[in-house]
Structure 1
Amino acid sequence: MLKRNWKHSLAATTCLCILSACQTTPSRPLPLAKQVDLPRFMGGWYVIAAIPTMFEKGAHNPMDHYVLEPDGSITTTYTFNADSFDGKAKSYQSRGYVLDPSNAIWGQQYVWPFKADYRISYVSPDYSQTIVAREKRDYVWIMARTPSIPDADYQLLVKMVGEQGYDVSLLQKALQRAPQK
């Protein structure tokens, strides 16, 4: 009996060692905006570039719109045209919940009860450009209040994304067309 327990213990220990070896080393914490003024952050943001989720692939004119609700939650509406500028208009809605005093870390709820990690890692002083990221470094969004930004600004934001630990070769420029008047 002792021999059998010893074998089970050895097998369990071996499995734990293998699993811990497969575990990734946590990367350094994602830099965050020092303080996000929520009312200033609300409104429309054009996606300039992203490491997109599966729902965003092929999106034209992608845009996030944020509304601060009386209960402190944030209604987020993502809109885009599917597959072309004149493609079918689509939208997805989620609810954000601020999780820290800086207002930079949100839980974004698409399906109850799960909240996705959503972090404002940078917002320009005039609230015209932002980087929204995730601690896992799997998705990231460079956004602006306008459908395009100067190339020098874009390159600086891409550099910041790289410094945060993202593989910038995965960034895809969004397909934006200025709104028709």
Structure 2
Amino acid sequence: MKKFFARRIAVLLSALLCSACVFAQPDDPQVVSAVDLKRYMGKWLEIAHSPNFFQKGCVRSTAEYTLNEDGSVKVYNVCTKGDGSVSDIEGVATVPNANEPAKLKVDFGFPWKGDYWVIDLEPNYEWAVVSGPGKDSLFFLSRTAPMPVATLQPILERLEAQGFETDEFVFDQW
């Protein structure tokens, strides 16, 4: 009888451990230690993004950031589709915790706010990589496009080392 209960407990524990593995979230990406929002402002050209529903058909995307008087950031995203049509969306980003300036929340008027975490940033603010918790999204931005392979390759290698599936990225056509 004791063996029967011991086996049942072992099976139950195994099932719990396996389900924890299946439902575990990937480690959150590490954010940069500091972001100077004034230097971050301006127009960015998207180099690549992880697949998502809201950029379906986009061949080129841009993001423009403007610092508001209250310290929030106006966000203006534009998607150009293959047929030349354009769609855009405007929102507001804020830094909820001053101790984590690289973690912003973006409000596009939906019932939820999106995460905007700066996880890699060139020291002169020439390019940036943005993600969120769980590595479920990624946006690779640059001040200029196209980006030389010699610049792009080390960034992709760092992203792979963090667990991003770079072979799934959708590259913009500049």
Q: Distance in 1 between matches of 2:27 and 2:53?
A: 26
Corresponding position of 2:89: 92
Equivalences for residues 87-166 of structure 1 within 5 A: 87-100=84-97, 101-166=99-164
Question: Is the CA contact 1:62–1:175 (under 8 Å) kept in the aligned structure 2?
Answer: no
Deviations 1:27-71 (A, max 9, x none): 333111110000000111100011132121221321011111111
TM-score (norm 1): 0.79
SS at match of 1:103: coil
Normalized per residue, the structure richer in helix is 2
Aligned partner of residue 114 in structure 1, secondary structure: coil
Helix, strand or coil: the match of 2:69? coil
Q: Whole-Å Cα distance in 2 between the matches of residues 44 and 18 of structure 1?
A: 47
Q: What percentage of residue pairs aligned between the two structures are identical?
A: 25
Q: How many residues align?
A: 161
The alpha-carbon distance between structure 1 residues 112 and 56, as it changes in their structure 2 partners (threshold 3 A), is: closer
Q: Which residue of 1 aligns with 2:76?
A: 77
Distance (Å, rounded) in 1 between the aligned partners of 2:68 and 2:151 = 31
**Does structure 2 retain, via aligned residues, the 8 Å contact 1:142–1:157?**
no
Q: Is the 8 A contact 1:62 1:80 kept in 2?
A: yes
The alpha carbon displacement at 1:165 in A equals 1.7
Q: Secondary structure at the match of 1:111?
A: coil
Code of the residue aligned with 1:90 in structure 2: it is: S
Are residues 163 and 99 of structure 1, via their aligned partners in 2, closer, same or farther at CA, if it must alter by over 3 Å? farther
Structure 2 spans left out of the alignment, 5+ residues = 1-11
TM-score, structure 2 normalization: 0.82
Q: Which residue of 2 aligns with 1:66?
A: 65
- The letter for the 2-side match of 1:54 is F
Question: Using the alignment, how far apart are the partners of 1:64 and 1:157 within structure 2?
Answer: 20
1:53 match: 52
Q: In 1, Cα distance between the equivalents of 2:111 and 2:72?
A: 15
